RNA sequence: GUCUCCAUCGUCCAGUGGUCAGGACACAGCCCUUUCAAGGCUGCGACACGGGUUCGACUCCCGUUGGAGACGCCA
């Protein structure tokens, strides 16, 4: 067998949906694993709802995730004529027919049927038109759509995830493939595209299972071998309904903008509906590529658990390369209004390292590190009462003197001063550490104090200590 | 309403006839500690129900119930 060809075919809706991202991921993993080709195709046959910007957002999202495509992007709207080119061929088979019913007529008949509490399906009115009637309608230039005539019998296929799925043809209506304005409908465009692009595996959401039966009939009329299908379980919201814009964050780029690392996001969504077996959870894209298989994809829809994403993201941040982390965090400093230019890169990386394991999102980092960059303006109220007692400020005075004698203002040296002083005065470390931290950062929590002092440097440490010692802050 | 899919802790997954039903997130407690985190330990917590098949069912079959999805000249 030749190398597989897979595709992701999003419709430009203004954002890259989390579900689409995961579908893209599984397509990508399989294509890469089998040395296949991953195609990007934009399904914009609904011209009114599509735009260039929307398409770019999707491409940007895919790029952020690192799911690079090999071919495309192709735009369905560029190929409108291709679809209708197949019409004569299809007509010859007798498998399609013209439908002159107007949307309005259809709607009326549909309502009548529903009123009787019956299931609506196209009533085949136009299938029974005589040749003369058809001719007459055409001469009168009455607009028409093309419908597929679904034959008697059953339609079935072997889904890579669900196994054999079967449906009575009587349950499938004669569906439209070309609108009366001569544009193709989704189900038709998809089949023609997949056929022309020689797609071998169609991997998409569960919600397309019912479309699959219709598409199978088009393949039949085309006399083409259908691709393999894999229908993925849906990603659900807390209410176990299909994740939608209404019920949760659905845009992939929104996660980027809150400071989720792409690797963490990919890892997380991969695990909704798939697992290589066993207890493995943290995996890179290339590891997943080796491990992926459709057999291991779950059938059950999975809830998008923000808490677990948060955990996974913090884990990734902790283990991330400091330099890369810094680059990705810069925009967040900017939007937090923090000026970082007075620090060199080495120092900035140290700052990153000091808070790496505390941040859940990149957007947390500016607030976690603000005091490194700006003077302390406010001091934690509770901390002030608790730690900045006169007695403790006395300690700070002495400590400041001792620090002054230091040749090297480093973590270890500073620690030595504090430990020794605490021992001499029979104090607990916290008795001098907490007041110092508060004086230097205005806060009661933060990075390890001695490390913090080393990063800040002697000058800043002294000026901030002085401010506390000399002011009547109490 | 019709059709299709699905069914293990609150959530994400392991499990493919014999397991004390395992891990992770979340939650609770304890430990560590220089605060906050992180980390370590412990706890809480599930095979939807009813029939079969079998020496034996979470695992196989049927049904019930429940949930979801699709029923457009949207994609």
Cα A411 to Cα A455: distance, rounded to the nearest angstrom? 9
Domain boundary among A185, A206, A232: A232
**What CATH number should be reported for the domain holding residue A352?**
1.10.8
With respect to residue A404, please indicate whether it lies within any of the assigned structural domains. Answer: yes
Nearest residue, CA→C1' of B39 = A357
Cα A27 to Cα A19: distance, rounded to the nearest angstrom? 12
Give me the CA A455–C1' B37 separation in Å, rounded: 19
Calculate mean pLDDT across residues A142-161.
Answer: 96
Give residue A469's pLDDT. 86
With respect to residue A252, please indicate whether it lies within any of the assigned structural domains. Answer: no
Strand B: which nucleotides have any atom within 7 A of a protein Cβ? Answer: 1-8, 10-15, 22-26, 34-39, 67-75
Tell me the nt nearest to A13, Cα to C1': B75
Structure tokens at A145: 């759509």
pLDDT tens across A15-44, in order?
Answer: 999 999 999 999 999 999 999 999 999 998
Give me the CA A413–C1' B32 separation in Å, rounded: 24
With respect to residue A50, please indicate whether it lies within any of the assigned structural domains. Answer: no
Residues A92 and A224 in one domain: yes
Residues A170 and A97 in one domain: yes
User: Using 50, 70 and 90 to split pLDDT, how confident is the model at A81?
Assistant: confident
Task: Note the ipTM here.
Answer: 0.95
Residues A337 and A387 in one domain: no
Give residue A158's pLDDT. 96
User: Using 50, 70 and 90 to split pLDDT, how confident is the model at A264?
Assistant: very high
pLDDT tens across A189-247, in order?
Answer: 999 999 999 999 999 999 999 999 999 999 999 999 999 999 999 999 999 999 998 87
User: Using 50, 70 and 90 to split pLDDT, how confident is the model at A118?
Assistant: confident
Cα A292 to Cα A39: distance, rounded to the nearest angstrom? 19
In this structure, what is the dihedral angle of CA atoms A232, A233, A238, A241, given to the nearest 10 degrees?
A: 100
Residues A216 and A338 in one domain: no
With respect to residue A52, please indicate whether it lies within any of the assigned structural domains. Answer: no
Q: Which of A85-94, A398-407, A443-452 has the lowest mean pLDDT?
A: A398-407
pLDDT tens across A166-204, in order?
Answer: 999 999 999 999 999 999 999 999 999 999 999 999 999
- What phi and psi, each to the nearest 5 degrees, are found at residue A54? -60, -40
Residue of A92, A245, A324, A425 with catalytic role: A245
User: Using 50, 70 and 90 to split pLDDT, how confident is the model at A425?
Assistant: confident
A7 CB contacts (<8 Å, ≥6 apart)? A27, A38, A39, A40, A41, A72, A194, A197, A199, A202
Residues A338 and A416 in one domain: no
With respect to residue A324, please indicate whether it lies within any of the assigned structural domains. Answer: yes
Give me the CA A271–C1' B57 separation in Å, rounded: 29
Structurally, chain A folds into a number of domains equal to: 3
Residues A217 and A100 in one domain: yes
Tell me the nt nearest to A311, Cα to C1': B25
Mark whether A296 is an active-site residue. no
Q: Indicate if the pLDDT at residue A474 is higher than 70.
A: no
With respect to residue A305, please indicate whether it lies within any of the assigned structural domains. Answer: no
Tell me the nt nearest to A415, Cα to C1': B34
With respect to residue A158, please indicate whether it lies within any of the assigned structural domains. Answer: yes
Residues A432 and A443 in one domain: yes
Owning domain of residue A334: 320-373
Give me the CA A281–C1' B16 separation in Å, rounded: 21
Residues A175 and A106 in one domain: yes
Tell me the nt nearest to A176, Cα to C1': B73
Return mean pLDDT, chain A. Answer: 93
DSSP class of A473: -
Nearest residue, CA→C1' of B38 = A357
**What CATH number should be reported for the domain holding residue A451?**
1.10.10.350
Cα A434 to Cα A440: distance, rounded to the nearest angstrom? 10
Residues A391 and A365 in one domain: no
**What CATH number should be reported for the domain holding residue A115?**
3.40.50.620
């Amino acid at each position: 067998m030749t190398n597989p060809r897979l595709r992701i075919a999003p419709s430009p809706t203004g954002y890259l949906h989390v579900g689409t991202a995961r579908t893209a991921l599984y397509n990508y993993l399989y294509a890469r694993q089998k040395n296949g080709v991953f195609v990007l195709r934009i399904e914009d046959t609904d011209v009114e709802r599509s735009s260039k910007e929307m398409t770019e957002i999707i491409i940007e999202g895919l790029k952020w995730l690192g799911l690079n495509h090999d071919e495309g992007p192709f735009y369905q709207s560029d190929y409108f004529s291709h679809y209708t080119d197949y019409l004569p061929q299809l007509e010859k088979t007798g498998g399609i027919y013209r439908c002159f019913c107007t949307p309005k007529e259809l709607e009326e008949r549909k309502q009548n049927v529903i009123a009787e509490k019956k299931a609506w399906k196209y009533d085949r009115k136009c299938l029974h038109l005589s040749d003369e009637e058809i001719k007459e309608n055409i001469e009168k230039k009455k607009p028409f759509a093309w419908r597929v005539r679904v034959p008697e019998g059953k339609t079935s296929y072997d889904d890579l995830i669900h196994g054999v799925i079967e449906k009575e043809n009587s349950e499938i209506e004669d569906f439209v493939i070309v609108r009366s304005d001569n544009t193709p409908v989704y189900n038709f465009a998809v089949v023609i595209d997949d056929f022309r692009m020689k797609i071998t595996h169609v991997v998409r959401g569960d919600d397309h299972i019912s479309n699959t039966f219709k598409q199978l009939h088009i393949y039949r009329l085309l006399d083409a071998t259908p691709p393999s299908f894999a229908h993925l379980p849906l990603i659900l919201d807390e209410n176990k309904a299909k994740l939608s814009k209404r019920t949760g964050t659905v845009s992939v780029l929104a996660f980027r903008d809150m400071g989720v690392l792409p690797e963490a996001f990919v890892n997380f969504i991969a695990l909704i509906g798939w697992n290589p077996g066993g207890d493995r959870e943290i995996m890179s894209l290339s590891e997943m590529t080796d491990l992926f298989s459709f057999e291991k994809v779950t059938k059950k829809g999975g809830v998008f658990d923000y808490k677990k994403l948060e955990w996974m993201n913090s884990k990734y941040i902790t283990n991330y390369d400091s330099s890369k982390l810094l680059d990705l965090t810069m925009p967040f400093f900017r939007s937090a209004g923090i000026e970082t230019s007075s620090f060199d890169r080495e120092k900035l990386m140290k700052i990153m390292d000091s808070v790496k394991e505390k941040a859940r999102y990149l957007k947390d980092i500016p607030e976690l590190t603000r005091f490194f960059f700006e003077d302390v303006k406010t001091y934690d109220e509770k901390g002030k009462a608790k730690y900045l007692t006169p007695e403790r400020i006395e300690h700070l005075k002495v400590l400041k003197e001792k620090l002054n004698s230091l040749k090297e203002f480093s973590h270890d040296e500073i620690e030595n001063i504090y430990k020794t002083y605490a021992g001499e005065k029979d104090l607990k470390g916290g008795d001098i550490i907490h007041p110092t931290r508060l004086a230097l950062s205005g806060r009661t929590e933060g990075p390890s104090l001695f490390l913090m002092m080393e990063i800040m440097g002697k000058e800043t440490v002294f000026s901030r200590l002085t401010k506390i010692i000399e002011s009547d802050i109490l």
